[in-house]
C-alpha cells in the first residue's frame, strides 16, 4: 500500500492506494503549518481503511508550498548568483531582469567569473580558482547561505560548474560556514538567463526545502510510517527526499500535473485531454502516454523568466463559484471563490453562481434546491450550453491533432460539464474524481531527462540518437526507476541553424516505475 | 523630425522587430535587454529620419552575425558591440557619424540601439532590408553597389578582424567562417556609406514602423480588439490563413535548418509554410503558391498576435498567417536574384503578398 497526498492552497487531499486501486480518499483543510494538515489527513485515511505503519511502502506528496514561498517572497535564503563566462555575458549580469522586491527578498549578490564553454565545448576562458575563491570569501562575508552557479553552455559541458562548486564549498568549509550549492545544468535547459534564473530560485528555496522535508518526514514517522517519502515534480515524476532538498524548484507546477496524472490512472486513459474544474478556473491539459505535455518556451514564475519543465495548461475562468450573468447567461471570469458556501443561492446567499445552475439542472444535489426552483429552465440550459461550448473550445485549442481525443473531467467543479461535449462526445468521469490530484501524486514513476546540443554526422544519426536516449535511461535508473520498466516517453530533435557540423539540439525523457522495495 | 528612443520603447520595438523577422532574425529578448542596459547606462538614443541626414555624413551598420541559439547562451556584451565600430573608425581614418540597422527584423534591430547608446551616436530611422534575411550581403545597399567591406567583426574575448573583399558575397563567406571559429556569435560593423548613399539605399522610417507595429499589437490587446487585424492594417498586408499547426518537419540539408509546417483551418483548408530561418513560401492545400520571399510571410499567435519563430513552431499551435509587402526594390531582377525563391532553392516564381506574380521587370532599383 502507499499514500498519495496533494497539498493545495485550500484543501489537502489524501488517498490510500493498493497499486492502482483506491482504498480510501479524504479531503481536509490545508493548515498554515502544512504538516498538521497532512497528519490529520493520514489519520482520516486510517479511519476509512485500517493500516499499520509498516504496511505503507511509500508516501507521495505534491505541494504548492515552494512556489507560494517564492510568490510571497517569504523564507528565502540569502542567495548568491555566480556565473562563469567572462569575458562574455558581462553586460547582462545575473538577475538582470528580476523584480526589485524579489532581489531584495533574497538579499541577493551577483558575481561574474571566468569560465564557460563555446557551443562546441571549447573553453571560452579557463577557470580562475583565485578569482572564485575571492568571490566565495565575499559571499561568506556577506552572509550568503546558498549559491547558484551557472556556466555558459553547461548543458553541453558542465565540468566547470562542478569544479567551481568545489572551490566555493572549500572556501566556506574553511571556517565551517554551511552553504548549499545549486548547479544550472541540473535544473534548466539551453538559454543562459532562463536557466540561471531557475537555478537562483532553486538556491533561494534550499533552506525551506530542508525544513519542509524534515516536517513531512516527521509527520509520516509520527504515524508509524517508515517508508520513504517522495515529492512529485512538474513533469509528473517523483523525487526522493534528498532530491527535494537539492531541487525544490522541481515541485513548482506539480498541482496541475497531479490532477492530470490522477485523471489518467482513474480513467484508464493515457492519451487524453483533462479538464480539472475547481472553484474559479477550469484548467485544461493534455496527457500524452500518461504524461502532461510540457510548455515549449519560457514560463514566467513570480515575474521571472525561466525555462524549466512545466506542464502546458490552459486556464479559463469557469469554475463552481463563477458568477453567472442573469441577462446574457455568460459565466465568469468573476468568482465568489471560497465564499461559495455563503453567497451562492443554494446556500441562502444572493449571488447566482455556476453551482446554482448545476443544482437547478439536476446535475448536483448541493445545498437547498428550492432556492433555485425559480430559474427559467431555458436560461439554465443556455448557461450550461455556454459552459460546454467554452470548455470544448479550450480542449480543441490544446489538442495536437484533429484526431478525436477523449476528454476526462476531474475536480469538484466538474459537475458543470455535460455528459457530451460538442466536438468530443462522451466526457469520462472517473471514480474518485474529486481527489484525482492525490491519486496523481501517488503514481510511482521516476524519470530522467537529457537536453543538449550534439554534432550529428550524417552517417551516424541513428547511433547518436541511441546514445542520447541511453543517457536518459541511465539518468532515470539513477533516480530510482526499475531498469526493466524504463521507456522513452519523449524525444525531440531540432537542428540548429548557422552552427557547423549539423549541430542538433536533442531532448529525451525516459520514465520508469519506482523501485519501491529497494530503498 | 528626429525623435528619442527611451527605455520604455524597447519592448514595443522588439515585438515589432520580431514580427518583421518573419519567423527568423533571432531572439529579440536578448537584444531588448542589451538595448535597455545601454540606455540605462548611457541615456536615450536619438533617431534621425533619412531626410535630415547630411550628404557627407558617415553611416555604418552594426549588428550580430552567427547563430541566435548561441546568443541566448553566450550573451553578447556592450564592449563587443562597440569593438568593431572602433576598428572601423581606425580603418576609415575618421569616426562614423551615424549608426544604422542592416535589418529591422529580429535581434539586429535592437543591437544597433545598444550600439548607438553606448557610442553616443544618433541612430538612423531606417534599415537595410525592411525585414530579416539570413545572409550578410542580402541588403538593399548591395543592390545600390555599396560595399559591405571594409567590414569589422569582433568577439567577446577581444579578437577583432577587418576584411576587405571583392564583393559582398565574399564578405559573407569569409566572415561566416571566422564567426564559427570565434564561437558562432560575432558583432559586425560595415557598409560604410555617405549620407547621400544612405538616403538612396536604405528603407526609410523602419524604426518608427517597428515601434508602431509592436505598440499597436499591445494596444489592441488592451482594447480587446484583434491584434492580428491591427498588424495587418499597419503592414498594409492581408491575412492568408487562420488555423492550427498540425505538422512540422525539419531537416538540416545545406547547413541551414530548413523545414515545412502544415496548418489546417476551418472546413479542412490547408496551408503549407516552407522556411529556412525565415518563412519563404506559403502555399495552399492544392499547392497553389500564395506568397513568397521577398514579401513578408508572418506567423502570429491566434489571439495575442505574438510573433511565432520558425524554431518555435509546434504541433498544436493556433496561429494566423499574414503576408505583407516588402520594399519594392526587392522585386527588381537583381533583388529577386539575391533573395527570391530561386536563391533559396525553390523553382517557383516570386509572388507578391496579394498573390500577383512578378517577373522582376516591373520595379526599378532606386527608391
Helix spans in A375-505 (H): 377-398, 436-442, 461-478
| Residues in Cβ contact with B281 at an 8 Å cutoff, skipping those fewer than 6 apart | B272, B273, B274, B289, B291, B292, B293, B297, B341, B346, B348
Interchain proximity A502–B252, CB inside 8 Å: yes
B138 and B95 together in one domain: yes
pTM over 0.95? The answer is no
Does residue A128 sit in helix, strand or coil? coil
More confident call, A236 vs A342: A342
Domain membership of residue B211 (yes or no) is: no
- In chain B, residues with a C-beta closer than 8 Å to the C-beta of A85 are 74-75
B126 and B247 together in one domain: no
Q: Which residue in A439, A507, A514 sits closest to A472, CA to CA?
A: A507
A440 lies within 8 A of chain B by CB? no
Q: How far is B158 from chain A (nearest CA, A)?
A: 9
B115 and B199 together in one domain: yes
**pLDDT (average), residues B282-311:** 91
B261 and B202 together in one domain: no
Mean pLDDT of chain B: 91
pLDDT tens column, A365-376? 888 999 999 999
Helices B28-42 and B10-20: angle between axes, nearest 10 degrees: 150
A393 lies within 8 A of chain B by CB? no
- In chain B, residues with a C-beta closer than 8 Å to the C-beta of A505 are 69
Band of the pLDDT at A342, cuts 50, 70, 90?
confident
Band of the pLDDT at B253, cuts 50, 70, 90?
low
User: How far is Cα B356 from Cα B342, in angstroms, rounded to an integer?
Assistant: 17
Nearest to A495 among B37, B78, B250 (CB): B250
Nearest to A499 among B34, B184, B277 (CB): B184
- Which option is the CATH number for A269-430: 2.60.40, 3.30.420, 2.40.160, 3.30.460? 3.30.420
Region at A154 (left for phi over 0; alpha for psi -120 to 50; beta for the rest): alpha
User: How far is Cα B29 from Cα A434, in angstroms, rounded to an integer?
Assistant: 41
**pLDDT (average), residues B107-121:** 96
Q: What proportion of chain A, given as a percentage, has pLDDT over 90?
A: 37
pLDDT at A422 over 60: yes
Q: What proportion of chain A, given as a percentage, has pLDDT over 70?
A: 96
**pLDDT (average), residues A390-419:** 84
B235 and B167 together in one domain: no
Cβ neighbour number for residue A466 with a 10 Å cutoff: 11
pLDDT confidence of residue A255: 79
pLDDT tens column, A29-45? 777 777 788 888 899 99
B273 and B191 together in one domain: no
Q: CATH number of the domain at B319, please.
A: 2.40.390.10
B143 and B261 together in one domain: no
Domain membership of residue B89 (yes or no) is: yes
User: How far is Cα A390 from Cα B74, in angstroms, rounded to an integer?
Assistant: 43
pLDDT tens column, A270-295? 889 999 887 778 889 988 877 788 77
Task: Copy the grid coordinates of residue A11.
Answer: 484543501
> To 5 degrees, how large is the angle CA B316–CA B317–CA B318?
115
Q: Which strand (E) or helix (H) includes residue B119?
A: helix B111-119
pLDDT at A130 over 50: yes
Domain membership of residue B155 (yes or no) is: yes
How far apart, in Å, are the Cα atoms of A103 and each of A110, B199, B222? Answer: 10, 46, 29
The CA-based dihedral angle spanning residues B133, B139, B140, B142, taken in that order and rounded to the nearest 10 degrees: -140
Q: Which residue in A387, A384, A409, A281 sits closest to A333, CA to CA?
A: A281
B21 and B150 together in one domain: yes
User: How far is Cα A8 from Cα A65, in angstroms, rounded to an integer?
Assistant: 8
Mean pLDDT of chain A: 87
DSSP β-ladder status, A79-86 and A146-151: parallel
Q: CATH number of the domain at B122, please.
A: 3.40.1610.10
Task: Copy the grid coordinates of residue A108.
Answer: 541577493
Domain membership of residue B363 (yes or no) is: no
Task: Copy the grid coordinates of residue B303.
Answer: 489571439
Query: For the CA atoms of chain B, what is the radius of gyration?
Result: 19
pLDDT tens column, B152-179? 999 999 999 999 999 999 999 999 999 9
Domain membership of residue B296 (yes or no) is: yes
pLDDT at A432 over 60: yes
A325 lies within 8 A of chain B by CB? no
At which residue does the C-alpha cell 469554475 appear?
A319
User: How far is Cα B154 from Cα B162, in angstroms, rounded to an integer?
Assistant: 9
Domain span holding position B84: 3-206
Choose one of B175, B206, B237: the last residue of a domain: B206
More confident call, A121 vs B190: B190
Question: Has domain A72-205 been given CATH number 3.40.50?
Answer: yes
pLDDT at B99 over 90: yes
To probe the interface with B, which of A88, A160, A402 has the most B CB atoms within 10 Å? A88
pLDDT confidence of residue B255: 54
Edge-to-edge, what's the strand order for the sheet holding B318-324?
B289-292, B278-284, B270-276, B257-264, B238-252, B318-324, B296-301
Q: Which residue in A326, A343, A345, A327 sits closest to A335, CA to CA?
A: A343
- The answer to whether B339 touches B293, Cβ cutoff 8 Å, is yes
pLDDT tens column, A84-101? 999 999 999 999 999 999
Number of domains in chain B: 2
Domain membership of residue B220 (yes or no) is: no
User: How far is Cα A115 from Cα A2, in angstroms, rounded to an integer?
Assistant: 46
Sign of the C-alpha dihedral, residues A141, A245, A85, A175? Answer: positive
- The answer to whether B99 touches B115, Cβ cutoff 8 Å, is yes
pLDDT confidence of residue B41: 95
Band of the pLDDT at A21, cuts 50, 70, 90?
confident
pLDDT confidence of residue B363: 43
A89 lies within 8 A of chain B by CB? yes
pLDDT at B365 over 60: no
B248 lies within 8 A of chain A by CB? no
Task: Copy the grid coordinates of residue B172.
Answer: 559573407
Nearest to A494 among B29, B78, B250 (CB): B250
User: How far is Cα A170 from Cα A178, in angstroms, rounded to an integer?
Assistant: 11
**pLDDT (average), residues B27-42:** 92
More confident call, A224 vs B363: A224
Helices A206-222 and A35-48: angle between axes, nearest 10 degrees: 30
Band of the pLDDT at B361, cuts 50, 70, 90?
low
More confident call, A449 vs A518: A449
| Residues in Cβ contact with B319 at an 8 Å cutoff, skipping those fewer than 6 apart | B242, B243, B244, B245, B263, B299, B300, B301, B302, B308
Interchain proximity B70–A499, CB inside 8 Å: yes
Domain membership of residue B338 (yes or no) is: yes
First to last CA, chain B: 21
**ipTM of the modeled complex:** 0.87
pLDDT confidence of residue B295: 96
How far apart, in Å, are the Cα atoms of B71 and each of A499, B27, B64? Answer: 12, 8, 9
User: DSSP assignment of A332-354, as one string?
Assistant: EEEE-GGGHHHHBGGGT-SB-BH
> To 5 degrees, how large is the angle CA B19–CA B25–CA B27?
85
pLDDT confidence of residue B91: 95
pLDDT confidence of residue A126: 95
DSSP β-ladder status, B203-204 and A146-151: unpaired
Task: Copy the grid coordinates of residue B123.
Answer: 541612430
Band of the pLDDT at A497, cuts 50, 70, 90?
low
pLDDT confidence of residue A254: 79
Interchain proximity B74–A88, CB inside 8 Å: yes
- The answer to whether A367 touches A344, Cβ cutoff 8 Å, is yes
Domain membership of residue B198 (yes or no) is: yes
pLDDT tens column, A158-197? 899 999 999 999 999 999 999 999 999 988 888 999 999 9
| Backbone dihedral angles phi then psi of residue A311, each to the nearest 5 degrees | -70, 150
Amino acid at each position: 500500500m502507499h499514500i498519495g497526498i496533494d497539498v493545495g492552497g485550500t484543501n489537502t487531499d489524501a488517498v490510500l492506494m493498493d497499486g492502482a486501486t483506491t482504498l480510501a480518499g479524504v479531503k481536509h483543510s490545508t493548515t498554515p503549518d502544512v504538516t498538521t494538515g497532512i497528519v490529520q489527513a493520514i489519520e482520516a485515511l486510517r479511519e476509512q481503511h485500517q493500516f499499520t505503519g509498516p504496511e505503507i511502502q511509500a508516501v507521495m506528496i505534491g505541494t504548492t508550498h515552494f512556489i507560494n514561498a517564492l510568490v510571497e517572497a517569504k523564507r528565502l535564503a540569502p542567495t548568491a548568483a555566480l556565473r562563469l563566462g567572462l569575458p562574455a555575458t558581462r553586460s547582462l549580469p545575473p538577475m538582470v531582469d528580476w523584480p526589485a522586491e524579489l532581489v531584495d527578498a533574497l538579499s541577493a549578490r551577483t558575481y561574474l567569473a571566468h569560465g564557460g564553454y563555446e557551443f562546441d565545448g571549447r573553453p571560452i576562458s579557463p577557470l580562475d580558482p583565485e578569482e572564485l575563491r575571492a568571490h566565495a570569501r565575499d559571499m561568506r562575508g556577506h552572509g550568503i547561505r546558498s549559491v547558484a552557479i551557472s556556466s555558459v553552455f553547461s548543458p553541453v559541458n558542465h565540468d566547470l560548474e562542478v569544479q567551481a562548486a568545489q572551490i566555493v564549498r572549500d572556501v566556506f568549509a574553511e571556517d565551517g560556514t554551511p552553504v548549499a550549492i545549486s548547479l544550472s545544468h541540473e535544473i534548466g535547459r539551453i538559454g543562459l538567463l532562463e536557466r540561471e534564473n531557475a537555478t537562483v530560485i532553486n538556491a533561494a528555496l534550499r533552506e525551506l526545502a530542508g525544513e519542509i522535508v524534515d516536517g513531512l518526514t516527521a509527520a509520516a514517522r509520527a504515524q508509524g510510517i517508515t517508508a520513504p517519502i517522495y515529492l512529485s515534480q512538474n513533469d509528473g515524476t517523483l523525487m526522493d527526499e534528498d532530491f527535494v532538498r537539492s531541487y525544490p524548484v522541481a515541485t513548482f507546477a506539480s498541482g496541475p500535473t497531479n490532477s492530470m496524472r490522477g485523471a489518467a490512472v482513474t480513467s484508464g486513459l493515457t492519451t487524453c485531454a483533462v479538464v480539472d474544474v475547481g472553484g474559479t478556473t477550469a484548467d485544461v491539459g493534455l496527457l500524452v502516454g500518461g504524461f502532461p505535455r510540457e510548455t515549449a518556451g519560457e514560463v514566467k514564475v513570480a515575474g521571472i523568466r525561466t525555462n524549466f519543465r512545466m506542464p502546458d495548461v490552459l486556464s479559463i475562468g469557469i469554475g463552481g463559484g463563477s458568477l453567472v450573468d442573469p441577462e446574457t447567461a455568460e459565466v465568469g471570469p468573476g468568482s465568489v471563490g471560497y465564499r461559495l458556501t455563503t453567497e451562492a443561492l443554494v446556500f441562502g446567499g444572493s449571488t447566482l453562481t455556476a453551482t446554482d445552475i448545476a443544482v437547478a439542472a439536476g446535475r448536483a444535489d448541493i445545498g437547498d434546491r428550492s432556492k433555485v426552483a425559480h430559474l427559467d429552465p431555458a436560461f439554465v440550459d443556455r448557461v450550461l450550453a455556454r459552459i460546454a461550448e467554452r470548455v470544448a473550445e479550450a480542449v480543441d485549442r490544446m489538442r495536437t491533432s484533429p484526431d478525436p481525443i477523449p476528454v476526462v473531467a476531474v475536480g469538484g467543479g466538474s459537475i458543470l460539464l455535460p455528459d457530451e461535449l460538442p466536438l468530443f462526445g462522451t466526457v469520462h468521469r472517473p471514480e474518485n474524481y474529486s481527489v484525482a490530484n492525490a491519486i496523481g501524486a501517488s503514481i510511482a514513476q521516476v524519470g530522467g531527462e537529457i537536453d543538449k546540443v550534439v554534432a550529428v554526422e550524417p552517417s551516424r544519426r541513428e547511433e547518436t540518437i541511441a546514445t542520447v536516449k541511453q543517457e536518459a535511461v541511465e539518468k532515470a535508473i539513477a533516480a530510482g526507476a526499475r531498469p526493466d520498466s524504463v521507456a522513452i516517453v519523449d524525444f525531440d530533435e531540432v537542428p540548429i541553424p548557422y552552427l557547423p557540423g549539423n549541430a542538433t539540439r536533442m531532448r529525451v525523457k525516459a520514465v520508469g516505475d519506482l523501485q519501491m522495495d529497494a530503498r | 523630425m528626429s525623435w528619442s528612443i527611451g527605455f520604455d520603447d524597447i519592448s514595443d520595438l522588439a515585438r515589432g522587430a520580431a514580427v518583421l523577422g518573419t519567423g527568423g532574425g533571432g531572439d529579440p529578448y536578448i537584444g531588448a535587454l542589451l538595448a535597455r542596459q545601454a540606455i540605462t547606462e548611457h541615456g536615450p538614443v536619438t533617431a534621425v529620419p533619412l531626410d535630415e541626414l547630411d550628404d557627407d555624413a558617415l553611416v555604418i551598420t552594426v549588428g550580430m552575425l552567427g547563430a541566435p541559439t548561441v546568443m541566448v547562451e553566450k550573451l553578447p556584451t556592450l564592449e563587443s558591440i562597440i569593438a568593431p565600430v572602433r576598428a572601423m573608425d581606425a580603418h576609415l581614418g575618421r569616426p562614423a557619424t551615424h549608426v544604422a540597422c542592416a535589418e529591422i527584423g529580429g535581434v539586429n534591430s535592437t543591437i544597433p540601439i545598444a550600439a548607438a547608446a553606448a557610442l553616443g551616436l544618433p541612430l538612423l530611422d531606417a534599415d537595410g532590408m525592411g525585414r530579416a534575411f539570413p545572409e550578410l550581403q542580402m541588403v538593399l545597399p548591395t543592390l545600390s553597389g555599396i560595399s559591405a567591406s571594409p567590414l569589422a567583426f569582433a568577439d567577446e574575448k577581444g579578437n577583432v578582424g577587418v576584411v576587405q573583399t571583392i564583393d559582398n558575397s565574399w564578405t559573407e563567406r569569409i566572415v561566416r567562417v571566422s564567426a564559427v571559429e570565434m564561437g558562432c556569435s560575432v558583432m559586425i560593423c560595415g557598409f560604410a556609406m555617405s549620407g547621400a548613399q544612405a538616403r538612396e539605399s536604405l528603407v526609410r522610417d523602419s524604426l518608427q514602423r517597428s515601434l508602431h507595429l509592436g505598440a499597436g499589437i499591445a494596444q489592441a490587446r488592451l482594447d480587446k480588439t484583434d491584434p492580428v487585424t491591427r498588424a495587418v492594417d499597419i503592414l498594409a498586408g492581408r491575412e492568408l490563413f487562420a488555423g492550427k499547426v498540425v505538422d512540422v518537419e525539419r531537416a538540416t540539408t545545406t547547413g541551414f535548418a530548413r523545414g515545412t509546417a502544415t496548418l489546417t483551418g476551418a472546413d479542412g483548408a490547408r496551408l503549407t509554410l516552407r522556411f529556412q530561418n525565415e518563412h519563404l513560401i506559403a502555399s495552399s492545400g492544392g499547392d497553389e503558391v500564395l506568397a513568397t520571399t521577398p514579401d513578408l510571410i508572418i506567423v502570429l499567435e491566434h489571439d495575442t498576435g505574438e510573433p511565432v519563430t520558425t524554431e518555435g513552431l509546434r504541433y498544436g499551435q493556433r496561429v494566423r498567417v499574414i503576408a505583407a509587402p516588402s520594399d519594392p526594390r526587392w522585386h527588381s531582377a537583381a533583388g529577386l536574384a539575391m533573395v527570391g525563391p530561386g536563391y533559396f532553392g525553390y523553382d517557383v516564381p516570386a509572388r507578391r503578398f496579394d498573390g500577383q506574380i512578378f517577373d522582376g521587370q516591373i520595379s526599378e532599383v532606386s527608391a
